[in-house]
Amino acid sequence: MPKDTDNSASSSISDHFLSISNLFGRFVRRNFLKLTPIQLRTLLDRLSGLYPGNRSVVFKMKELNGIPAAHLFPKKTIGDQQRKTVILVHGGAFAFGSVQTHRALATALVRSVNCEVWIPAYRLAPEFPFPIPLEDVVRSCEAIIGDAQDWWLLGDSAGGNLAMSALFEIANKHQKIPNGLILLSPWLDLGYWSESNLFERTKMSPFNRKDVFEYARYYLKDLSPDNPKVYPLANDLSKLPKVYVEASEAEYLWYDFELIRKTFANQNRSLFTRIERSALHGWQLFPDILPEAKRSIRSISQFIFTTKTQPENQN
């Protein structure tokens, strides 16, 4: 199994400052603003408009099997080679996040890889709980994969759960998998007593156990968190292509990263891993600002460039 690409560099933001800011932010959000998921969603979308990413990338809204989606691609075509395709499933605890919050990340990938990126605007909980978000992601992917020769599936946080779950749905239905699966700090265990919840690392996190319980409930409703459609690690991992996963040792979901490492090792599956020592959850969303995000873009791009066109483990 490939060794971790450990990076000993600290976050570009003071750990102490982040700890105080996150504690204060959680207190204000819960006790004063009392933001509902819909209000938080609206606030984040407005703030993300201040950081759209590099302007050299085209951004257009289209539809994929009836699902709204952002399509990002370079303004200028380089050569005649068919462009690689990345489907980015945004995170946000299944209840927020959007094509706007993830626009800068997608833009950085377009520029680094010279690819096109699609971001499905899947419907969100609590208005649309499981299985609707997953079904929207699957339908969006189905609209792309018929023509795509070189494609990758990428998801961060809750989007990592959706991306991995959608991959199994697509593999079972179409016998077709992407060149690679890329997971950024994925939220894979939605159980109330997951190790991430038990250890509750809140120093570098804008959310805590109470938030995680709440948002898992919004998505799951009455569904068991052990169901393979929301706990993708319960599926047959031999159906997966090459998998890249990265996380920060300081973030809340660190133990979900440890879980995927252990699960892959137990099934004797290879896994490409990368670790940041001290980075805030979601650092990849700021690729023009944070050094740790720049490192992520370089590492993800290298994974894409070095992955074979035809996945080794296609069944």
How many secondary structure helices (H) and strands (E) does the chain include? 9, 9
CA-to-CA distance for 113 and 287, rounded, in angstroms?
Answer: 14
CA-to-CA distance for 147 and 36, rounded, in angstroms?
Answer: 40
Q: What is the span of the domain harbouring residue 67? A: 5-306
| CATH code assigned at 213 | 3.40.50.1820
pTM of the model: 0.91
Helix segments in 149-237, DSSP class H: 158-174, 195-199, 209-220
- Residue 152 placed within a domain: yes
- Residue 315 placed within a domain: no
- Residue 79 placed within a domain: yes
Cα Rg, the chain, nearest whole Å: 18
Q: How many CB atoms lie within 10 A of CB 61?
A: 11
- Residue 248 placed within a domain: yes
Peptide bond into 120 cis (omega under 30): no
- Residue 268 placed within a domain: yes
**Number of structural domains in the chain:** 1
CA-to-CA distance for 101 and 122, rounded, in angstroms?
Answer: 14
**pLDDT at position 313, please?**
39
Q: Cα 180–183–185 angle (5° rounding)?
A: 170
- Residue 312 placed within a domain: no
Q: Tens place of pLDDT for every residue, the chain, 315 residues?
A: 444 554 444 455 566 555 556 554 555 566 556 788 899 899 899 999 888 888 889 999 999 999 999 999 998 766 556 789 999 999 999 999 999 999 999 999 999 999 999 999 999 999 999 999 999 999 999 999 988 889 999 999 999 999 999 999 999 998 889 999 999 999 999 999 999 999 998 877 778 899 999 999 999 999 999 999 999 999 999 999 999 999 999 999 999 999 999 999 999 999 999 999 989 899 999 999 999 999 999 999 999 999 865 443 333
CA-to-CA distance for 183 and 70, rounded, in angstroms?
Answer: 20
- Residue 142 placed within a domain: yes
CA-to-CA distance for 145 and 151, rounded, in angstroms?
Answer: 7
> Strand pairing partners for 249?
none
- Burial class from Cβ neighbours inside 10 Å (0-12, 13-18, 19+) for residue 19 reads middle
**pLDDT at position 312, please?**
39
Residues 140-186 have pLDDT tens digits of: 999 999 888 899 999 999 999 999 999 999 999 988 899 999 999 99
- Residue 314 placed within a domain: no
- Sheet containing 5-10, strands listed edge to edge, beginning at the edge strand earlier in sequence: 5-10, 272-278, 242-248, 180-184, 151-156, 85-89, 116-120, 67-74, 57-64
CA-to-CA distance for 284 and 292, rounded, in angstroms?
Answer: 8
Can you give the length of the chain in residues?
A: 315
